[in-house]
């Protein structure tokens, strides 16, 4: 599929060094979008170089901690200086931790909230600042989760579920606030996808993957490329009347 308005735009992707963020970077680069990757992993530079070599687009990779507003602002400035002002944002930086709620330490709770919620907010702030008042046409896609709406089982991940629900409402709030500025804000809410985040659990416990898959009507976990069509649509003007929504993409998991 081709989206004619995308070539030549600049996208910025938090958590873009690997996983779903990097996969979405390949989807955008494949449309001729220049891509800036921000991630706490030093690998982010190599990821950006691989992307440029594979797709022939300009890229940048900047080590950034999304929990630190100054680091996020510096990461955005570095991308803007090399690739131009980003008009597409994808927030993919996120973490999860599992355990009984009564045992979660204040530090574990704060880490998940700071990365998943506050880090997403800082990214949207830095994205919007140069666009406000500039007559922009721009789109932000926040990576939420189906965990914003359902409680995944059998694992216990209260902090993750709560932060993803907050990300959905963050996106809706910003969509309303920035609609008149030409900035659309939507979220996507994936079900179970194959990535480093999920492999850390399923590789140690293959029965867990079997349990998840048994609950998915389409009969498999998602591959990162299963998100490409939806995210390209949201990034493009082809969805110009779509804002303030969180769209579930889960193989039917939450339809049951």
Q: Which residues bind ligand NAD (CB under 6 A)?
A: 14-15, 17-21, 39-41, 64-67, 92-95, 115, 119, 143, 145, 190, 192-193, 195-198
Tell me the closest approach of the beta carbon of residue 98 to ligand NAD, in angstroms. 13
Tell me the closest approach of the beta carbon of residue 197 to ligand NAD, in angstroms. 3
Known catalytic residue: 160? Answer: yes
Q: Which is nearer to ligand NAD, 129 or 199 (CB)?
A: 199
What is the DSSP secondary structure assignment for residue 238, as one 8-state letter?
G
Q: Which is nearer to ligand NAD, 162 or 197 (CB)?
A: 197
> What is the Cα–Cα distance from 33 to 39, expressed in whole angstroms?
19
Tell me the closest approach of the beta carbon of residue 44 to ligand NAD, in angstroms. 8
Q: Which is nearer to ligand NAD, 41 or 74 (CB)?
A: 41
> In a 10 Å sphere around its CB, with 0-12 CB exposed, 13-18 middle and 19+ buried, how is residue 169 labelled?
middle
Q: Which is nearer to ligand NAD, 136 or 162 (CB)?
A: 162
Q: In whole angstroms, how far apart are CA 175 and each of 11, 38, 113, 238, 241? A: 18, 23, 21, 17, 11
Contact between 60 and 117 (Cβ < 8 Å): no
Sign of the alpha-carbon dihedral angle for 218, 223, 225, 231: positive
Longest dimension (CA), the chain: 52
Tell me the closest approach of the beta carbon of residue 196 to ligand NAD, in angstroms. 4
Active site residues: 160
């Amino acid at each position: 599929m081709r989206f004619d308005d995308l070539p030549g735009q600049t996208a910025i992707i938090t958590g873009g060094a690997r996983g779903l963020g990097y996969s979405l970077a390949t989807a955008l680069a494949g449309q001729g979008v220049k891509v800036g990757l921000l991630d706490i992993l030093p690998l982010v530079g190599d990821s950006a170089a691989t992307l440029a070599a594979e797709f022939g687009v300009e890229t940048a990779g900047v080590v950034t901690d999304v929990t630190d507003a100054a680091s996020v602002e510096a990461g955005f400035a570095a991308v803007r200086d090399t690739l131009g002002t980003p008009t597409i944002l994808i927030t993919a930086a996120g973490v999860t931790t599992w355990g009984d709620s009564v045992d979660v330490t204040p530090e574990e709770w704060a880490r998940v909230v700071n990365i998943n919620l506050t880090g997403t907010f800082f990214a949207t702030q830095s994205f919007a600042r140069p666009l406000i008042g500039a007559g922009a046409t721009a789109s932000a896609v926040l990576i939420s989760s189906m965990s914003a709406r359902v409680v995944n089982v059998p694992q216990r991940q209260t902090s993750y579920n709560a932060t993803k629900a907050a990300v959905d409402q963050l996106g809706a709030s910003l969509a309303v606030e920035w609609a008149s500025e030409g900035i659309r804000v939507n979220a996507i809410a994936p079900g179970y996808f194959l990535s480093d985040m999920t492999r850390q659990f399923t590789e140690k416990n293959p029965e867990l993957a079997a349990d998840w898959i048994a609950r998915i009507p389409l009969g498999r976990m998602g591959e990162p490329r299963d998100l490409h069509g939806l995210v390209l649509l949201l990034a493009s003007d082809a969805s110009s009347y779509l804002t303030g929504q969180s769209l579930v993409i889960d193989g039917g998991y939450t339809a049951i």
